[in-house]
Structure 1
């Protein structure tokens, strides 16, 4: 009786399991694959594991703000783009299971899903991706604050910052000692206290987001041996101070030359009106005046300016004698 009951239960298991083997298989990954991209760059969305069967077709979907859009279809070795936002920016390989997005934009951030149909099995594999598009990390700046310097110690503070308000940036520090970089601490600011035998250390500020990173370094020897660092002096601005010192005298000389030239023009003044009047051509007309009671004839000289703007006339009286009459007398 016990053996008959055992055979009965085994037969029931077979009746339940065997039909399930012929049902269409639908595989769903446990969690989305996180992908990071950089604006204007390219990114690919691809399965992390190899598919056991050839691919028949793939349908890609894009979800943003809770709304799902049909992105593209791959059938018969051809890609058909369905969404205008991604026009001429999509490519595929690996039978459509790897999707390339070129010239990334910030609005491309969202969820992507691929429905992969396997040939001859009726199985469908679902792959989900979460894409986040980031801006490039700007070049960082460092600022040095010298706290205290003695013959035995050099105490200073390093500040690291970037000209952006992006909350996605992370700051971390590393230091190099004896040709090896080692993690130092996280954050934008570090406090350093060194003895002279450790002044060869180099500190590196590392700014990064999931898609990009930048770094800048400064050596302890540069800080501790320099007299130009004061509290709040940016390390990257020392060469600007030197350039300013060199340019300032040149600017002063140019200003002095311009000022002296202006003063000479002011002393010279406008062209003399008297000199211009003297250079003007004068015309004099001589004619007899009213006859005098005496035997002498009086002639009048009337001066007329060449320019019609000079309306005034000047009359000059002069006594002229007749040479013949005088000789007779």
Structure 2
């Protein structure tokens, strides 16, 4: 029993002694896949974080797209980046950021996939890394539209709607003030719809916070746009006043046109009646030279001796 314990102690001392020399310690198991987010047209890095005392002999990068077969896209041997097939989808978009970090430039949406990296050391040990690359589109600028529900001097009720033309994967949120902060106060003055893109407000003009901001983001980009509630409610008040003036003008103009039309109709009616009386009088007058008694007298006068 004592001999076995002495042998075990000697083995531990030997392992401890060997581990003091560079390149001889065992490497940790493969790390879980690391998420790398990139923006369309931008660039991403695949860092390996290898200790400087470890001498690297060769690095291989294998890319697996979402659709298609895995492809060996690059090798780093003797300090030089080699491309097994320069005619693949990455073309001239690959370069080394340092001796162990690969960079992809000019990202495309189809670059989304899994990047597997195998590192071979001078000790013949092998270390593997895996990266999940996700390429996102830039976030489009959102737009805020408003719909006024009611307005008084004390309270302005409205609905704000935030719209964006982006595809899925976008997150939308509302904030207030400057600098931006989450919506505060009693829940009675603001309410979000289930989709989150509509915000119902019961805002009091006497409050100091009048700026509401809509933020749209994805893992790599963020855009926002703001609206001033004071201006929205003020415009609504001015629009209401303008609408009343405009309505009054239209009613007055309509009355004037109606009066003019009625006067023209009455004048035309009187004129027609006058003309009808004149025509009747002319019709009752006998034509000159056609009187029958005169003609008879002429004939009787001619026959007398």
| Band of TM-score, shorter chain | 0.5 to 0.7
Deviation string 1:226-282 (CA, Å, 9 cap, x unpaired) is: 12799xxxxxxxxxxxxxxxxxxxxxxxxxxxxxxxxxxxxxxxxxxxxxxxxxxxx
Q: Report which stretch shifted further, 61-70 or 105-114.
A: 61-70
Task: Give matches, 1:207-222, under 5 Å.
Answer: 207-222=216-231
The answer on whether the counterparts of 1:160 and 1:205 sit within 8 Å (CA) in structure 2 is yes
The answer on whether the counterparts of 2:24 and 2:123 sit within 8 Å (CA) in structure 1 is no
Q: Secondary structure at the match of 1:67?
A: coil
User: Per the alignment, do residues 175 and 109 of structure 1 end up closer, same or farther by CA in structure 2, a change over 3 Å counting?
Assistant: same
Q: Secondary structure at the match of 2:70?
A: strand
Between Structure 1 and Structure 2, how many residues are aligned? 224
User: Per the alignment, do residues 154 and 51 of structure 1 end up closer, same or farther by CA in structure 2, a change over 3 Å counting?
Assistant: farther
Deviation string 1:172-203 (CA, Å, 9 cap, x unpaired) is: 11111xx4311238921222222222254211
Q: Secondary structure at the match of 2:89?
A: helix
Alignment pair present for 1:198 and 2:198: no
Q: Higher relative CO (CA 8 A, sep ≥ 6), structure 1 or 2?
A: 2
- Aligned residue among 83, 94, 115 for 2:118: 115
Taking the aligned partners of 2:53 and 2:126, their CA distance within structure 1 comes to 12
Root-mean-square deviation (Å): 3.1
Counterpart in the other structure of 1:248: none
Alignment pair present for 1:53 and 2:54: yes
- Per-residue deviation, 1:128: 1.1
Task: Give matches, 1:248-327, under 5 Å.
Answer: none
Counterpart in the other structure of 2:6: 7
The answer on whether the counterparts of 1:25 and 1:124 sit within 8 Å (CA) in structure 2 is no
Q: Secondary structure at the match of 1:121?
A: coil
Counterpart in the other structure of 1:98: 101
Q: Which has the larger helix fraction?
A: 2
Q: Which has the larger strand fraction?
A: 1
Give the TM-score normalised by structure 2. 0.64
- Structure 1 unaligned blocks of 5 or more: 231-329
- Aligned residue among 128, 151, 155 for 1:126: 128
- Per-residue deviation, 1:117: 2.4
The answer on whether the counterparts of 2:31 and 2:130 sit within 8 Å (CA) in structure 1 is no
Counterpart in the other structure of 2:176: 175
Deviation string 1:68-119 (CA, Å, 9 cap, x unpaired) is: 2101001122111224111111001321x2111111111111000121223x
Give the TM-score normalised by structure 1. 0.59
Taking the aligned partners of 1:192 and 1:156, their CA distance within structure 2 comes to 5
